[in-house]
A and B are shown apart, each in its own frame.
Chain A
Amino acid sequence: MNTNHIRFWELASDEEIDREHLSTCEECQRQAEIHRLLGIHLSRLPRIEAPPFFAARVQNLIGESRSSLVYYFERMAAQLVPLLTLLILATSVFIYTVNDQRTSQISTNSQAAQVLEESAFPEVSVENMIASYPDLDEGSRR
C-alpha cells in the first residue's frame, strides 16, 4: 500500500487520486472531505450579469474619447514614440562621436603643447642635465 498522503492542494480538478490509499487513510479521507467542500463552495459562488446596455455605454465612451483633443494627442504620442526614440538614439550617437573627436583633439593638442614646452626649455632635458653635471656622469660610470 502507498503510505504517502495525498497532497490535495496539488491536484488539478480533473486529476485522478490514489483511491487505494484513500480507502485506508483517515487523514486523507478528512482532507478529501475538505477538498470536496471547497469545490462545492467555489462552484456555488454567485455569478453576476453585465448590465443590458454595458456594451453600448462602452461604445459611447469610445466615441466621446475619439472626438476629444486628448484622444488625438494620445494617438499622436503613440505614433511619435518610435520616432522620438530614434531621434534620441541618433542624438546620443552624434554627441558621443563629437565628444570622442574633441577628446582625441585635446589629447593631440596636449601632446603638441608638451613638445612645444620641451623645445621652449631645452635645458630641462635629461641629456642637458647630465652635461651640466659631469661629476654625476662620472660617478654613474664608476
Chain B
Amino acid sequence: MAQTDAQLVAATLAGDPKAFGDIVRRYQQFVFNAVYHYLGARGEVEDVAQEVFLKLYRSLDRFDQSRPLQAWIYRITANQCLDEARKNRHRKVKNFADLGEEEEERIRRYFDEDKHGASLTESEDNQSLQLLQKMMDGLPEKDRMAFVLREIEGLSYAEVSQALNTSVTAARIRISRVKKKLLAELGQVLGSRQGERR
C-alpha cells in the first residue's frame, strides 16, 4: 500500500533515503510542469526542479507535519521560480506590440486552426508556450506565477494563496489581472485580423 505524505516525511527524517525518493517521484510532474510553464524554457527546468527538491529536503526538519506536504512543495516551487525570474530579468521577452508581421500572422493562423479543430504540430504547440510568455510579459512576476498555478496547473485558489503566501482574495485579483491582459492582447491581434477581412 502506498504510504501517505506524512509517513514518507517521517521516514525521511528518520534517515530512510528511499522515502525521500518516493516524495520526489510523487511530485516531480507537478514541479517540472509548473517550472516549465512559468519560465517557458525547457533547458532550465531540470536544474530548477532539482533545486526545488534539494530545498525541500533541507527544510523538512522545519516543516510543520500537521500541514499538507503538497502546500509546502507548491510554496518552494513558486519561490524558486520567482528567484529564477529575478536572476533572468535581463532576458526580456518581446511584447505583442513588438511582434513582426510574420509572427502575428502565425498567431492568427494558430487560433484559426484552433477554431476549426485542426491538430497542431509539436513545434506549433511549443510555440504556443512562447506565445503565452509574450502575452504575459510586463506583468508582475507574482501575478504570472498565480496564473500558471491556477489556470495551467489547476490548483485551487486556496492552494495558490498558500503557495504565494497571500490571501485568497489577493490571489484571485492577481489571476484576474493576468486574464484581463491576455484577453485584451488576444482580442487586439484577432480583432485586427477581422478588420483586415472586412
Contacts and interface: CB of A to CB of B under 8 A. Distances in A.
Interface stretch (B64-72, B92-100, B177-185): B177-185
User: Which 10 pairs of residues, A with B, have the shortest CB-CB distance?
Assistant: A9-B180, A9-B179, A55-B24, A50-B28, A55-B21, A55-B25, A58-B53, A46-B125, A59-B21, A10-B176
Interface string A50-63: 11001111110111
The B interface, classified by DSSP as helix, strand, loop or mixed, is: helix
A46 B129 contact: yes
B20 A51 contact: no
B190 A44 contact: no
Interface residues of A, number: 34
Interface of B: 17-18, 20-22, 24-25, 28-29, 31-33, 36-37, 42, 45-46, 49-50, 53-54, 57-58, 61, 111, 114-115, 120, 122, 125-126, 128-129, 131-132, 151-152, 157, 176-177, 179-180, 182-183, 186-187, 190
Given A47-B33, A49-B32, A13 B151 contact: yes
Contact of B114 (A10, A13, A35, A37): A37
A102 interface: no
